[in-house]
Structure 1
């Protein structure tokens, strides 16, 4: 039987089952006696085993079969599940996931899982837990011995770490891979590691360590460890400074190769792209899928649609929107009743069609959120912290294009919150806090935007250290500090200067890569806002547009040119008298409902040809971004319209305050104003 035609279906369904396994195992860990959850896990494992065997992926089928046997023993009351057994089952799911991703990358899905299969078999046969723990420790020890002396694998770097390394090269910093070996008889290995890291942080910034910092602190390594360092020092200087630490026997310093890292990143992006090819298309479909998993039967009529087809459909509809605008204009000019009636009917039909197409592209943000519980569980173990993750609003929907891009920035914000926000249990108890920290993810709709909030009850941001760091890095001048409020100070950690500078304070990590997060979010037409209270916690609020394709705008005229201002940024429009315009700090301002609002003349900003007219009255568009407002002076209002957002292309990427263009019904091109850039 030819299997290639079934490969895509196998991959998509395997990923769904693995996600279900992860989610249900997290629930089972909270309540090991819940047989309903055990049955859910068993069904997913059983289905995955059958699919793998049919497709010929024997290693995957064997591992799943052994896990299925353990679950079968548990649901038949032959085995009591505990944290040790659940950890081993989690490890089995990790191996299954890596096999599936190997298949996605064109591999054969083979992996040596004999040790894990033996452990699962021992559990099934009722071997004492103490012995299993010993076996697990031996396995971990063996893995540590085999990997400790190796280079840090490129695949272990995420997109943000790679981006930070690339940016450091652009700023003439050096990226070094450093392998360090301690003396064989070294007794206080953790102390020596601490001293080495002190030296490294004086020279630059450590981006990655292998083993992890937590493992190094707990001495879960033999004598070798490796780090990736960003610094301005040369190789010889770095080596000499590290060798000054006593009981360091060997130091190997080499340039970190970014070409290979970039290739690895591209492979991961390719895998991620494949993963997104069959995203659910509506809330109702998601609900039906949940019903399917509970009953084991197909209760809905759904089909999988390749996302490329939806993109093609959207592109065709965008052309239809342009032609619809043209027909409306022609009908208005000709004043023909029959034509106007037909055009109005077509407008209603195409509006309904537009909503259907946009809804087909909408994906629940749960697609992104569902990988976070497992990630938080693992990070909490690695960091020796107790963390409770709470998720609200996972059913909130976003355009598939936005979903594809927002995952990695959210991962980075969560990692920062866990690593540098929430304290260790001992530190929390000393501060009078519960030993278990709380990380909360919240998503909700507001107007034409979706808000995603990531909050923690950790240490918060030390504003004094942020200011000191920003001044030393040249991000701000010392005389600017007096005029800055708390919100502006918090935003400083998003500046690129924090990514590759020498680390001299405990705010390390709160800035690593956060400029990349900010750039990614702003490239989607969104924004990020930070609130923090030192000692009590932080809140990162991300604002994103619902869709990036078709937007509602206010068309305005400036001279003989037309501009489109997104309605989502507009508070209201107004006509003001010339005498109401005041001057403050050499800028024109108006009093708008008790607030001083600066005026921006679009004719001057965009250098529109024509003489500046000294009118008695001015047409003003009041826009807002966050807490900031501004008034745009235009010549006249044309009206509200729905337009198709078109890119300006690769040759016009740096046009100030213009985010794109659109084609109007009369064939004219109107530029779309980037209100965020104007307010800044």
Structure 2
């Protein structure tokens, strides 16, 4: 594609995916609120907009499917159909397929080879909701049956022309098109549409109901049926008819050879109708208006048929007005209706931009910017933060090295101004990166619906805090962990309806997904009201799978035993199913949450349910760190993991078999001397008081013994390159204001080393 075409394609894909997601959300809500007309209207608009946008690209199977969906939803909107679970299933399948096609078009610039076949199947499944058994056959019906249906009741002239066209000597395509009665209101022109049919060799038009004369005639309702024969390929015809696929029956046939007919009876029928209307008597005061209307119709029809020019029509109109009689226009019509050969070839007008449906102009409510540009802004803001942090060091040097206290005061004053501006810039850029969690939460409505039906557990899915915002990268990384948690809640957490009734609970379970802000963190919870976690069974399974020894299991407190479900390879499922039982899932969740700088906690009550809480920083770009000193070097610890700092006298340490422990608020907290897992030299002598940094980890609370505490700071972490890239205990590095490098510790990896 050209640069402009590529940009248009990118915009189509972005908007297309948004529309598919929006339509899916509306569908799921409509299953519970089928009478909500606003939801029906929103769903119809999303599908209609997607159909209009797709017409600009070579994706006719996609267009065909969304048009079939639009036709069904139009009937729902009109009150002729009721949206039920069966219809929702087919519509959701169609949206899933459209989403897959958008991905394929993104990668390949075209749809897969089997797209036509898949589109035919989906369009047929959707058409079932609109047509009964007596309706015209669906695309793909046999040609002979379709032709036999046509031959009944055709006028002798049309019958002869059709039979001649069927004996062209090669394959032919038969088209039966009955446009929707309200097609004019969607900007459709069925006549022009059929006149531009590729390879058209015959066309007949009949009324589907009696056309009432005079003022009783409704010109805004389409009541026509078009039947045509084309010598173009079946794929060409299907591409041309993609927009009206649900209103068309197509058949293919290979007839005996004969010369093709070039008759165009549809224009003749319209001209004959105009002549009849012109011959009808009318009031004298309406004569001028009738002549003007007739001239307008003839100006459109005669040039199309090559039977006259607009100048001749206007001249005949003027003569009729001057004479007070319609003779001049009647003569023109008679000449046009006189038998004459009128060869008709396949028209290239299908490529005419005027014939293509145009999407209504949309006002852009938001400005969509490539994420790379936002990331660049964030990087520049980070450079400013580094530059800002260097000013206090410069002030100290001015005072201590050069003895200029006045200069130091001026630098600090400028630092205050600089700090305020940089903080405001950083906040503004971070706000641009913030997106509501609803963009992730909404996709789980479909997941829960499918899981509920798969395991036969009716449930209510409650979503709270969708408006809570977090950094775009964090929101995108939440998808996979939440899928695992929701699957576990439905499969492991909730009981069957019979078990719930026996326990005195409602047969319908509940899964709740919620989000809220807590200071500079976002807290997400997945909770169920199911059976809860049997801690004794968890201990037994952990011993059975060799994750811990029986002695360890017996001494382990319930809170620590509950966290065993986060271990790799752990599962309480007796059998492997499509949803669980393989021992992967919760360990993946814990790993991904920790990688994002967050923590995961568990609460469970037997018979009451389980709650999994994920706590994440609002932004992954700017990190707040607590700096500590070890062996003369400084290291950074994520501030969100820090619970408190303490100075512990040596006589308050408890030593028994394992690492030393301390008691804080009636809890035993193990101590880890960071020098050991980091393989630093031991201290020359043990201090009387230990500097202990108490942090929250996936294994619980741990006290980290450091040499000294330093100040907190804000940094932009950078990934490690070269030999350092392989060190799992380091998650990155940052440049400090004095030009030194700060290594950032990955505490989860550090604590996996012997300590």
With the length of structure 2 as denominator, give the TM-score of the two structures: 0.62
Instruction: Note if contact 1:99-1:111 (Cα within 8 Å) is conserved in structure 2.
Output: no
Aligned equivalent of 2:487, options 415, 422, 437: 415
TM-superposition CA deviations, 1:530-555 (whole Å, max 9, x none): 33334443222223232222222232
Counterparts of 1:253-264 in structure 2, within 5 Å, are: none
Bigger mean CA offset, 48-57 vs 442-451? 442-451
What is the total number of aligned residue pairs between the two structures? 516
Q: Which residue of 2 aligns with 1:298?
A: 363
Tell me how far 1:631 sits from its aligned partner. Answer: 3.9
Instruction: Note if contact 1:575-1:619 (Cα within 8 Å) is conserved in structure 2.
Output: yes
DSSP 3-state at the match of 1:385: coil
Tell me how far 1:35 sits from its aligned partner. Answer: 1.4
User: Does residue 380 of the first structure (1) align with residue 380 of the second (2)?
Assistant: no
Structure 2: distance between partners of 1:598 and 1:538:
27
Larger Rg: 1 or 2?
Answer: 2
Tell me how far 1:19 sits from its aligned partner. Answer: 1.0
User: Does residue 329 of the first structure (1) align with residue 393 of the second (2)?
Assistant: yes
Counterparts of 1:231-246 in structure 2, within 5 Å, are: none
Aligned equivalent of 1:4, options 3, 6, 10: 6
Q: Which residue of 1 aligns with 2:374?
A: 310
Tell me how far 1:306 sits from its aligned partner. Answer: 0.9
Structure 2: distance between partners of 1:651 and 1:342:
39
TM-superposition CA deviations, 1:289-346 (whole Å, max 9, x none): xxxxxx996373x311111222222233323322222233112321413333223211
Instruction: Note if contact 2:569-2:584 (Cα within 8 Å) is conserved in structure 1.
Output: no
Structure 1: distance between partners of 2:5 and 2:743:
50
DSSP 3-state at the match of 2:129: helix
Distance 1:560 1:392, change over 3 A: same
DSSP 3-state at the match of 2:589: helix
Structure 2: distance between partners of 1:532 and 1:671:
37
DSSP 3-state at the match of 2:569: helix
Counterparts of 1:408-447 in structure 2, within 5 Å, are: 408-447=480-519
Task: Provide the alpha-carbon RMSD of the alignment.
Answer: 3.5
Q: Which residue of 1 aligns with 2:560?
A: 488
Structure 1: distance between partners of 2:504 and 2:649:
58
Q: Which residue of 1 aligns with 2:59?
A: 57
Structure 2: distance between partners of 1:421 and 1:501:
11
Structure 2: distance between partners of 1:357 and 1:506:
42
Instruction: Note if contact 1:474-1:497 (Cα within 8 Å) is conserved in structure 2.
Output: no
Gaps of 5+ in 2: 139-359, 399-404
Instruction: Note if contact 2:573-2:581 (Cα within 8 Å) is conserved in structure 1.
Output: no
TM-superposition CA deviations, 1:229-263 (whole Å, max 9, x none): xxxxxxxxxxxxxxxxxxxxxxxxxxxxxxxxxxx
User: Does residue 530 of the first structure (1) align with residue 602 of the second (2)?
Assistant: yes
Aligned equivalent of 1:319, options 360, 383, 386: 383
Q: Which residue of 2 aligns with 1:561?
A: 633
Larger RCO of the pair (alpha carbons < 8 Å, separation 6+): 1
Tell me how far 1:38 sits from its aligned partner. Answer: 1.1
DSSP 3-state at the match of 1:532: strand
Instruction: Note if contact 1:493-1:511 (Cα within 8 Å) is conserved in structure 2.
Output: no
DSSP 3-state at the match of 2:719: coil
Instruction: Note if contact 1:66-1:121 (Cα within 8 Å) is conserved in structure 2.
Output: yes
User: Does residue 96 of the first structure (1) align with residue 168 of the second (2)?
Assistant: no
DSSP 3-state at the match of 1:498: coil
Instruction: Note if contact 1:57-1:108 (Cα within 8 Å) is conserved in structure 2.
Output: yes
Distance 1:378 1:596, change over 3 A: closer
Q: Which residue of 2 aligns with 1:71?
A: 73
Structure 1: distance between partners of 2:727 and 2:648:
30
Structure 1: distance between partners of 2:516 and 2:65:
40
DSSP 3-state at the match of 2:505: coil
DSSP 3-state at the match of 2:67: helix
DSSP 3-state at the match of 2:478: helix
TM-superposition CA deviations, 1:195-245 (whole Å, max 9, x none): xxxxxxxxxxxxxxxxxxxxxxxxxxxxxxxxxxxxxxxxxxxxxxxxxxx
Distance 1:333 1:8, change over 3 A: same
Aligned equivalent of 2:48, options 46, 49, 55: 46
Distance 1:642 1:78, change over 3 A: same
